[in-house]
């Protein structure tokens, strides 16, 4: 049986879970959030019934279960960009986490087939990380929360993407 290549190192997956939880929040009880489409149920700060089809409103999880689940979700979403960014598993854990968080937030189409993919694959890390900042609108509307997610000095995807350690 062929073993699937991991997109994230153990440290990258753990950091992705932390980064995703920071921006998505950590709700331990599954519920429909007002900004989600009808029928979408969310728990653990971003895991939905699309990720877990068995999820029902009112299901309760522990913080430890949510932390583990978010690391797994970061890995699963990072897997979606592994075909277009094969070097991802070899990068510093903070960069892996930043890419995973970005893909969880926006989907692989904002990486694969874009300047982010091209720049990362030829070693133009700064250009790729800087390009993440242009994704701060939803449905044509600027969202300060997305700008914060991309640029915050401590928790931003761009600063984490640029880190070497």
What domains sit in the chain, N to C, each tagged with a CATH number? 10-162 (1.10.530.40)
Tell me if 48 sits within 8 A of 55, measured CB to CB: yes
End-to-end alpha carbon distance in the chain: 34
User: Is 165's pLDDT higher than 80?
Assistant: no
pLDDT tens digits for 135-155? 998 778 898 989 999 999 999
Q: Give the separation between CA 155 and CA 12, rounded to whole angstroms.
A: 15
pLDDT in tens, 83-112: 999 999 999 999 999 999 999 888 899 999
Structure confidence at residue 2 as a pLDDT band (50, 70, 90)? low
**What is this structure's pTM?**
0.86
- pLDDT-derived band at 3 (thresholds 50, 70, 90) equals low
For residue 78, give both structure tokens.
Answer: 């990072």
């Amino acid at each position: 049986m062929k073993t699937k290549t991991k997109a994230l190192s153990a440290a990258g997956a753990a950091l992705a879970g932390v980064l995703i939880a920071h921006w998505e929040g950590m709700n331990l009880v599954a519920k429909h959030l007002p900004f989600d489409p009808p029928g979408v149920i969310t728990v653990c700060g971003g895991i939905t019934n699309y990720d877990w089809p068995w999820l029902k409103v009112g299901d309760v999880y522990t913080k430890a279960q949510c932390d583990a689940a978010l690391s797994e979700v970061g890995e699963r979403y990072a897997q979606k960009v592994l075909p277009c960014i094969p070097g991802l598993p070899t990068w510093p854990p903070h960069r892996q986490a930043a890419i995973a968080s970005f893909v969880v937030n926006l989907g692989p189409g904002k990486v694969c087939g874009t300047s982010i993919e091209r720049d990362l694959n030829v070693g133009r890390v700064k250009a790729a990380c800087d390009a993440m900042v242009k994704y701060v609108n939803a449905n044509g509307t600027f969202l300060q929360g997305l700008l914060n997610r991309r640029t915050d000095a401590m928790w931003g995807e761009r600063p984490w993407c640029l880190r070497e350690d």
